[in-house]
Amino acid sequence: MNALQKSYPVIFIILMLMNGCSQSPTSVGAKLIPGSARYSSHDTTIAAVGDTSFKFSQANGSGASLLVGNYASVNATSLLLFAAYLPDTLTTVQIDTAELTLTSNYGWHVSLPPVPAQFQIKEVLSSWSSSTVTVDSLSTIAMAPTNSALVTITSQDTLSSTLAIVTQIDTSLVRRWINISADTLLPRFFSLALVPAPGTVNCGVWGFSSFNSSTPPTLTIIYEKNGVKDSTSLTNGVGTFLAASSPILASAGIQTQGGISEYSIIKFNLKPPLFDSVASNRIIVNNATMSLTLKNSQSSVGYGSIDSVVAYLAGSATQLDSVGSSYYGYGYRKDTSQTTNSVYIFNITSMVQQWINVPSGNFGAELRALGGSSNVDRHVFYSSADSVYGPKLSITYTKK
């Protein structure tokens, strides 16, 4: 009897092993599943029904790059604000030199023509905030010329591997800042602007690493005290840039440009009966790919920039800069070797699903430059009026 009782675990183990003999499921039985109970997969491609490009006066915030320069219609100015604590002991030292070190990280139309790019350093007298200052408010910002040297770039070839540019700063300006810092009653506002030097035309738009990077703008003060040379550096602060374009839309077609907040909206009609939004019949979007064809000759991407455009779900019919930031897709060149009519592919699956789920919220896809707060990259695409190269939306979906 004991032997029998000892066999119980063995019986259970045998049952478990029998279960372990189970194979992977196969198609056996698939033919018996009624078609009405199955999801079916479908593909369709539709053309855009409209598009519009527009520009907003928008703060670029604290981007990765501080842009300055000009090319064609684009003009950029950078603002730097040092969060400076200058020790009181500096009030008695003799300042030998003051240097501003900038490290390039971006260039747009900088290779041709190969002329030096020169920028002035100005003291900014009006307060500003990177989160609110826009190109429209540039005219209200007071700037004073300084005796600083020009920021001069002559070696475009080294741009891609980052180029540190050191420029002499007017020591009297630094002395004044030291005295202000020592006076607790005066506001500590130590700001500089970089603007294209007078007469500089088409030097390109240059970008320098901003604060909070590994190579921030650095103000180095070299001084002598009691016969001993020493130095102190300011590396903390806030930077932004202001860019303008005139005319605002340089080309016909769908276009985006970073820095100047130029966006486009492309509209697709996704309505019943093909795209039913009723819950029980709602289709499931498995893949939605928007393809745009680039006008290569009118488009330009800078050094150090990713050749990409991002499409967001447009959030309003009237407030054009409103987007649903949860729904977006990046667009990249399908074939990077193609030099004309390059096709950009955007995966906007969740965006299209949202359009179908909420048809009243379909205001289109809003194109924006990727990293538009750090570059002035421009992409110009064929518009929806072009039946051959206009925007297309290919959708793979399932439904019952």
Partner 1 sequence: MKTVKFFFLLVAVAGTSLPLLAGNGSIYSSFGVGDIINYGGIRSFAMGGTGIASLADGTVNELNPAGLGQLTRTQYAGEVQYQGYSMSDGTASTFLSSGNFQSAALAFPVYSEYGIGFAFSVTPFSRRAYDVIDKQSNPGITQTFTGSGGLSSAQFGFSFSPVQDLYFGVTTHYLFGNFDDVQEIEYDSLGYFTTNGDKNISTDGFAFTVGGLFSGLDKALGISKEKHLNIGATFFSGATLKSDGQIFQNFSTVADTTDSISTTTKIPLGFALGLEYDVRNNFILTGDFQYQQWSRYTYMGVHPPEIQNSMRVGVGAEFLPTRSLSEPYYRQVTYRVGGYMDQSYLKLNGQAIDDYFITGGISVPVFSTPGSEARLNIGLEHGIRGTTSNGLERDAITRVTVSLTGSDTWFIVPEVQ
Please, is 150 exposed, middle or buried when counting C-beta atoms within 10 Å of its C-beta (0-12, 13-18, 19+)?
A: middle
- SS3 per residue for 210-246: CCCCCCCCEEEEEEEECCEEEEEEECCEEEEEEEEEC
Q: Considering only residues 28, 185, 228, 388, which one is a binding residue for partner 1 as defined by CB under 8 A?
A: 28
* Distance between CA atoms of residues 179 and 163, nearest Å: 33
Q: Find out whether 205 and 76 touch, Cβ atoms under 8 Å.
A: yes
- Interface region with partner 1, contact rule CB under 8 A, candidates 58-66, 231-239, 282-290, 336-344: 282-290
The CA–CA distances, whole Å, from 77 to 219, 243, 337 equal 19, 6, 34
- Interface region with partner 1, contact rule CB under 8 A, candidates 30-38, 78-86, 124-132, 176-184: 30-38
Please, is 187 exposed, middle or buried when counting C-beta atoms within 10 Å of its C-beta (0-12, 13-18, 19+)?
A: exposed
Q: What is the CA radius of gyration of the chain?
A: 30
287 near partner 1 (CB under 8 A): yes
**Which C-beta is closer to partner 1: that of 16 or that of 388?**
16
Q: Considering only residues 198, 279, 335, 336, which one is a binding residue for partner 1 as defined by CB under 8 A?
A: 279
Q: Helix H segments across 129-221?
A: 171-182
- Interface region with partner 1, contact rule CB under 8 A, candidates 34-42, 74-82, 136-144, 156-164: 34-42
- Please report how close the Cβ of residue 26 comes to partner 1 at its closest, in angstroms: 4
272 near partner 1 (CB under 8 A): no
Measured CA angle at 318 (ends 315, 324), to 5 deg: 10
308 near partner 1 (CB under 8 A): no
Please, is 275 exposed, middle or buried when counting C-beta atoms within 10 Å of its C-beta (0-12, 13-18, 19+)?
A: buried
- Please report how close the Cβ of residue 33 comes to partner 1 at its closest, in angstroms: 6
388 near partner 1 (CB under 8 A): no
- Please report how close the Cβ of residue 210 comes to partner 1 at its closest, in angstroms: 34
**Which C-beta is closer to partner 1: that of 19 or that of 139?**
19
Measured CA angle at 106 (ends 104, 112), to 5 deg: 100
**Which C-beta is closer to partner 1: that of 251 or that of 277?**
277
- Interface region with partner 1, contact rule CB under 8 A, candidates 73-81, 265-273, 348-356, 367-375: 348-356
Name the one residue in this structure whose structure tokens are 């770039």.
153
Q: Binding pattern to partner 1, positions 210-249, x when CB under 8 A?
A: ----------------------------------------
16 near partner 1 (CB under 8 A): yes
Q: Considering only residues 83, 125, 284, 306, which one is a binding residue for partner 1 as defined by CB under 8 A?
A: 284
Q: Considering only residues 134, 179, 232, 286, which one is a binding residue for partner 1 as defined by CB under 8 A?
A: 286
* Distance between CA atoms of residues 51 and 54, nearest Å: 10
Q: Which residues pair with 145 in a beta bridge?
A: 122
The CA–CA distances, whole Å, from 81 to 204, 238, 388 equal 24, 5, 49
Both tokens of residue 192? Answer: 């500089």
36 near partner 1 (CB under 8 A): no
Q: Is the dihedral of CA 255, 256, 260, 261 positive or negative?
A: positive
- Please report how close the Cβ of residue 348 comes to partner 1 at its closest, in angstroms: 10
353 near partner 1 (CB under 8 A): yes
134 near partner 1 (CB under 8 A): no
**Which C-beta is closer to partner 1: that of 220 or that of 396?**
396
Which residues in this chain contact partner 1 in the complex, by CB under 8 A? 1, 4-5, 8, 11-12, 15-16, 18-19, 21-33, 37-39, 41, 43, 279-280, 282, 284-287, 327, 347, 349-350, 353-354, 357, 396, 398, 400
